[in-house]
Amino acid sequence: MLNKQQFSQHLLDWFYKNKREMPWRETKDPYKIWLSEVMLQQTQVNTVKPYYLKFTERFPDILTLASADIDEVSKYWEGLGYYSRVRNFHSAVKEVQDSYDGIIPNDPEDFLKLKGVGPYTQGAVMSIAFNHQIPAVDGNVYRVFSRLDNDDYDISSSSARRHFEQKVMDVMPEAAGDFNEALMELGATVCTPKSPLCMFCPVQEHCESYRAGTVELLPVKLKKIKKKTEHWKVLVIMHDDKIYIEQRPDSGLLQSMWQFPMFNIDTHQDTIEEQLNMSLYIEADPFMSLKHQFTHVTWQMEVYRAVALGHVDDAKFIDIEEKERFNFPVSMTKIFKKYIDELK
């Protein structure tokens, strides 16, 4: 990088003129900024916008959210995925209400101790809401600085965060929050993973990989997570015009959410009936197939209609109209919709 001060100024000038309109950029309320950063983890901006508006309308402040039941809060998150985010956020907000009189601590170390808050969220919220000189390093920032400095440092290494945080600190101006947002904006809209828009980059003159012709080779990521595929048999079980649902365990993937019963694809019917404690008629062929991807695992689901025979535990069957009372993951909502559509 040729001139660090010029780089920062060029980036900020571009950001102030070209930044996208986002509802959380219209406030300095640390609660709403924090919420937006949690929602934006692993989720695209356009997906987050309506959820953010709906969530802040129902839970406009710390006290309102801290006082709410987690089941209701989760309903307002339904469809965003990565549900541990909302559980951790709700727990952290309750701690703020109980331990900090409902005021988000502006001490970075105190904020970092809250549940679900990591170095990136700490840097983003503390800099944007309070202008603390703290970097907010995410994948966008790794990519931008790898290219700016033609740096082949492995971004998957355990030391990568410290390495790139120092790079950000070396060029961070007084307007720390705007600078962090500008870096994220640059990575999201110009310095993209594929086909970066180098000809429109406001800091092209500072970019060593552009001069070297190595932009497309960076950043370097040596480790690759191998995603496994799990094959599931899903049953939509009816009895007297009611439908069977069950709650997932209170730990692990999609914890405490509701679903149709799922079994390993090779599970025999007698085993299913024993586990559910009911006799079943299961159609021979699935009425739909569905693939749902998580970060480290893919679910391949074959979905079957079934009917419960004889005596059943009515407590686990609900009227179809009651669906909205329960927090279902996206995959189960898709199954529900397909099933209902075919009933019409």
What residues act catalytically?
Answer: 37
- Three-state DSSP at 151 gives coil
DSSP 8-class letter at 157: S
Residues 70 and 90 sit within 8 Å (Cβ to Cβ): yes
Structure tokens at 43: 């989720």
Strands (E), 222-338: 228-239, 242-244, 246-247, 258-259, 262-264, 279-282, 288-293, 297-309, 317-319
Question: In whole angstroms, what is the distance from residue 291 CA to residue 289 CA?
Answer: 7
Q: If phi over 0 gives left and psi between -120 and 50 gives alpha, with beta otherwise, what is residue 101?
A: left
Name the one residue in this structure whose structure tokens are 């407590």.
Answer: 315
Cα dihedral 75/81/87/90 (nearest 10): -70
Structure tokens at 329: 């993951």
Q: What are phi and psi of 262, to 5 degrees?
A: -125, 140
Residues 250 and 278 sit within 8 Å (Cβ to Cβ): no
